[in-house]
Amino acid sequence: MSKAVDSRTDRPESKIRFSTSWSYAPAPETAKATIAPRYDLFINGKFVTPAKGKYFATTNPANEKKLSEVGEASAEDVNKAVKAARSAYDKVWSKMPGKERGKYIYRIARILQERARELSIIESMDGGKPIRESRDVDIPLAAAHFFYYAGWADKLDYAFPGRTARPLGVAGQIIPWNFPLLMAAWKIAPALATGNTLVLKPAETTPLTAMKLAEVIRDADLPPGVVNIITGAGETGAALVNHPDIDKIAFTGSTEVGKAIQKALAPTRKHYSLELGGKAANIIFEDATIDQAVEGIINGIFFNQGHVCCAGSRLLVQESVYKTVIGKLQDRMETLVVGDPLDKNTDIGAINSKIQLEKINEYLEIGQKEGANLWQTSCDIPSSGYFCRPALFLNATQSHRITQEEIFGPVVAIQTFRTPAEAIEKANNTPYGLSGGVWTDKGSKIFKITTKIQAGVIWANTYNKFDPTSPFGGYKESGMGREGGLHGLAPYVELN
Ligand code: NDP
């Protein structure tokens, strides 16, 4: 832990010591998850062994224990999955009326709801996120996405009035580890509603809820080959991207891999949409309701351990309220409970992997070397597993790497501003353009600022609010294409 004196707050340390004078009795969720010792690849409606017979382990980041192992799909398996998807597209799915497709998607949504508790526990065990979040956000939203897009399946004529929407064919979908089931739902639901078939590859560190989703899809009696789920590393994703019989790639992940995919696809006929990284500015004006804004800062950066592409990882505070905001923020941060993801008291769970923890720790070093002041809370953290105390950097500057680069952890870089124009300039001075937040009492200021910030999503007096009806996506190096809402149908259709 590192404590720094900040001359502008005159506040060397937190006054409140929640870790010693307050404690909660543990409230663990019963970890009765039905995790099989091994999962095969889900191809053509069946679980099949990978062609090369190779498997890799998936572990619990909160205790470093192996949970299960999953198949490592080779190029041969990718080919098999794409063939199954093509056959299902040609013979069944593209010919099926939207009304019938919708019934299958509704069925998936209902089974997800029925199995919500089990899925939440597995999501928290495999990925490290607090059970409160997987239970109240990830799993309900995943089901909501299937419900929402099921409704569109027979209404595409209304989505695109005067046009005929045709499916693209076979979609290859690649997702990251931060919202495993939810990202799968964002990808699969609109693809199915518009009549495409697909092959999905989950991230290496969080494959389990995707394999559970494969069971759900099998139990929903989807025609074989409509949805194929194959596990593997980056090479499996690359094989999917480069497969000649893929019509569309939908990718969510880092900007670095997104750029490599864009290069690979540029000379081909394939359609693609990319949801990449971000470095959002959360802007606090002096006329904001400060207590509410502090909650928004907490939610903006510490939700899901900060493993959120749209996280409010840069905080811009108007100079006149800087002392008040930082003082209240530090007090509130001291109340955050870091620990067992399955404990319902936990606010911040485990960092998703050892590699990610190392990356975050490296940035904590980089920020200090650059001259920013690191402040972390004084809470206890478990002795095993991958954990990080919530952190903030005071006196960050625009040129610091901690201000420009995506850390993807519970770390916020703080800067000040005097005028709205300065706030806008600082907010836009980044290669990214995914999201942002504005806190002010004035409606006119909300419109003035939000229309000038280059970002796909901007929240006003709230943060990290998601809904299936609302489109999400980025500008600049944060990607292209939208997911969610009516806009989320467009990347999966050709309009005539
Ligand atoms: P990566 O880009 O490393 O991985 C994303 C997915 O792509 C994983 O399934 C990964 O497989 C796979 N992959 C890796 N290399 C290749 C390749 N060469 N070709 C095809 N697929 C490949 O990102 P992370 O998983 O580390 O996720 C974190 C990043 O994702 C952050 O930068 C974050 O901002 C971004 N993100 C963006 C979102 C958005 O909506 N804009 C939402 C969520 C995250 P494997 O896991 O095996 O490496």
- pLDDT, position 1: 42
Q: What CATH number belongs to 281-460?
A: 3.40.309.10
- pLDDT, position 9: 47
Tokens found for residue 402: 């901690």
User: Helix 75-88 vs helix 234-242: angle between axes, to the nearest 10 degrees?
Assistant: 50
Please check whether residue 261 is in contact with residue 144, taking contact to mean a CB–CB distance below 8 angstroms: no
The minimum-distance atom of ligand 1 relative to the CA of 240 is 20
Query: Does residue 433's CB lie within 6 angstroms of at least one atom of ligand 1?
Result: no
- pLDDT, position 14: 52
The minimum-distance atom of ligand 1 relative to the CA of 176 is 25
Rounded distance, CA 445 to CA 459, Å? 13
β-bridge pairing 248-252 and 170-174? parallel
Ligand 1 center–CA 258 separation, angstroms: 8
Quote the pTM value: 0.94
Rounded distance, CA 120 to CA 434, Å? 27
- pLDDT, position 30: 73
Domain boundaries, the chain: 38-276+475-495, 281-460
Ligand 1 center–CA 186 separation, angstroms: 15
Rounded distance, CA 261 to CA 263, Å? 5
Pick the CATH number of 38-276+475-495 from 3.40.605.10, 3.40.1360.10, 2.30.30.140, 2.40.50.140: 3.40.605.10
Rounded distance, CA 430 to CA 192, Å? 35
Query: Does residue 260's CB lie within 6 angstroms of at least one atom of ligand 1?
Result: yes
Across-strand partners of 7?
none
**DSSP structural state of residue 159:** H
Note the helical H segments in 277-377. Answer: 290-302, 322-334, 354-370
CA 211 from centroid of its chain's CA atoms: 18
What amino acid is encoded at 361 in this protein?
N
Residues with catalytic roles: 275, 309
Average confidence (pLDDT) per 10 residues, the chain, 496 residues: 46 54 71 88 98 98 97 98 98 97 98 96 98 98 98 97 96 98 98 98 98 98 98 97 98 97 97 97 98 98 98 98 97 95 96 98 98 95 96 97 98 98 98 98 96 97 97 95 97 96
Angle at 51 between CA 46 and CA 54, to 5 degrees: 105
